[in-house]
């Protein structure tokens, strides 16, 4: 399961985002370090279900009238403060929790109502653009410290006649999610001494920054967009490559209202319908959420998750089945599972993702949409329905 981590300074709205996205109860408070131990839960990314191309919907628990919700892990770590990479505010502990994350959502208080320490201040008095740079810098310096602590082993290995710097750095950096290809590409883009003993801090920091960008890409979530000055949102959009305006409070309110039967709303919808009895105050609050959604195309939470997975990580959703005509598993469940795979994946990759034994016993695959056999190196596409034939 892909892992998405929420990062940012205290009191930016990470825990509210987490509660809304996972429908889990966690502590939320208007003070730093409400969260100490990391929260782990299951959220979902949204895509079109293949059942839209059939006469009836699939009936899967994760499909809502053709809106397919694919599980991902969501991790909420405690807020980061300046100096986190040096251990300030238990920062090293919190940064270490991000090690296995595939992508980071940097939740920023776009209203400027919390300072760099996460303490409440007058709205608009803090520049949220600083919080974009701050999280990237803390993560880069944290990773650089890991490289620094392990550099002596690289220097020792370099004395061997068969030393390979790509191999040595891959061994070091796999623990933070780097692959051999990541390391090779980073070294190709960097200017560095051939002898590791001649490396300076600037070389190690440049390596760490490059590896972080490759292994921990970041989506900036401009939270509290409902109360943020428009100029703050504009400046945030200019400051980062991928920024999503959001209201975690609004999403949490809608999910609770939907659970209570007050509104008809699915996560990621651009609007909702009031279907139950509400008081005047409740209606006013819901209409305020609607106004924000109309401006930004939704509350932003589902958009942030979706863009992190489908855009930054370049994933596709593929559906393995046993019966290619009915699109069912062995128990007759229609489109029972959805697998997230990197773009460019093949049927063999899907087979291994389902189970290593199925991958080892792979024979061929069938495109269930077209009822035709496809090659082992065929590149799968978003929404493909695939039957894997194996000798098991």
Give, in words, the CATH class of 3-38+77-138+217-309. alpha beta
In the chain, residues under CATH classification 3.40.50.300 are: 3-38+77-138+217-309
Highest average pLDDT, of 31-35, 160-164, 352-356, comes from: 352-356
| Predicted local confidence at residue 38, as pLDDT | 74
| Predicted local confidence at residue 89, as pLDDT | 43
| Predicted local confidence at residue 276, as pLDDT | 95
Give, in words, the CATH class of 316-390. alpha beta
User: 33 pLDDT exceeds 90?
Assistant: no
As a whole number of angstroms, the distance between CA 279 and CA 11 comes to 30
- Chain segment 304-336, per-residue pLDDT in tens: 999 999 999 999 999 999 999 999 999 999 999
| Predicted local confidence at residue 373, as pLDDT | 97
* Entry pTM: 0.91
- Chain segment 263-311, per-residue pLDDT in tens: 999 999 999 999 999 999 999 999 999 999 999 999 999 999 999 999 9
Of the two residues 178 and 29, the one the predictor is more confident about is 178
| Predicted local confidence at residue 95, as pLDDT | 66
Interval 196-216 mean pLDDT = 93
| Predicted local confidence at residue 91, as pLDDT | 40
Residue 165, both tokens: 């710097």
Residue 115, both tokens: 């300072």
- Chain segment 117-168, per-residue pLDDT in tens: 888 899 888 999 999 988 888 888 888 888 998 999 999 999 999 999 999 9
| Predicted local confidence at residue 136, as pLDDT | 86
Mean pLDDT of the chain: 91
- Chain segment 105-120, per-residue pLDDT in tens: 999 999 999 988 888 8
| Predicted local confidence at residue 312, as pLDDT | 96
User: 87 pLDDT exceeds 60?
Assistant: no
Interval 336-348 mean pLDDT = 98
- Chain segment 176-192, per-residue pLDDT in tens: 888 999 999 999 999 99
Interval 336-365 mean pLDDT = 97
Of the two residues 86 and 141, the one the predictor is more confident about is 141
In the chain, residues under CATH classification 3.10.20.30 are: 316-390
């Amino acid at each position: 399961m892909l892992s998405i981590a929420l990062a940012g300074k205290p009191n930016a709205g990470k825990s509210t985002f987490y509660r809304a996205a996972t429908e889990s109860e966690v502590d939320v408070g208007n003070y730093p370090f409400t969260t100490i131990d990391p929260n782990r839960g299951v959220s979902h990314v949204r895509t079109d279900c293949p059942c839209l191309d059939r006469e009836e919907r699939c009936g899967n628990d994760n499909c809502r009238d053709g809106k397919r919700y694919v599980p991902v892990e969501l991790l909420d770590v405690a807020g980061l403060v300046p100096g986190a990479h040096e251990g300030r505010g238990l920062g090293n502990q919190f940064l270490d929790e991000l090690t296995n994350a595939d992508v980071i959502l940097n939740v920023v208080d776009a209203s400027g109502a919390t300072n760099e320490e996460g303490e409440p201040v007058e709205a608009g008095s803090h520049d949220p653009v600083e919080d974009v740079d701050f999280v990237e810098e803390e993560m880069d310096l944290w990773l650089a410290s890991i490289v620094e602590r392990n550099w002596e082993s690289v220097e020792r290995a370099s004395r061997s006649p068969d030393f390979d710097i790509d191999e040595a750095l891959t061994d070091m950096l796999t623990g933070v999610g780097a692959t051999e290809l990541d390391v090779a590409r980073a070294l190709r883009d960097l200017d560095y001494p051939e002898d590791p003993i001649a490396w300076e801090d600037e070389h190690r920091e440049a390596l760490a920054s490059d590896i972080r960008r490759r292994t921990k890409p970041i989506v900036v979530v401009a939270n509290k967009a409902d109360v943020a000055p428009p100029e703050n949102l504009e400046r945030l959009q200019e400051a980062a490559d991928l920024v999503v305006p959001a209201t975690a409070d609004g999403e949490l309110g809608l999910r609770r209202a939907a659970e209570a039967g007050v509104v008809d709303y699915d996560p990621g919808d651009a609007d909702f319908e009031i279907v139950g009895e509400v008081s005047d105050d409740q209606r006013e609050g819901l209409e305020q959420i609607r106004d924000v959604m109309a401006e930004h195309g939704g509350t932003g939470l589902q958009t942030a998750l979706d863009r992190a997975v489908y855009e930054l990580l370049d994933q596709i959703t593929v559906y393995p089945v046993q019966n290619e005509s009915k699109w069912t598993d062995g128990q007759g469940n229609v489109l029972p599972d959805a697998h997230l795979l990197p773009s460019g994946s093949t049927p063999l990759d899907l087979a291994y993702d389902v189970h290593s034994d199925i991958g080892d016993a792979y024979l061929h695959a069938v495109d269930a949409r077209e009822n035709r056999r496809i090659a082992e190196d065929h590149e799968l596409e978003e929404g493909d329905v695939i039957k894997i034939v194996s000798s098991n």
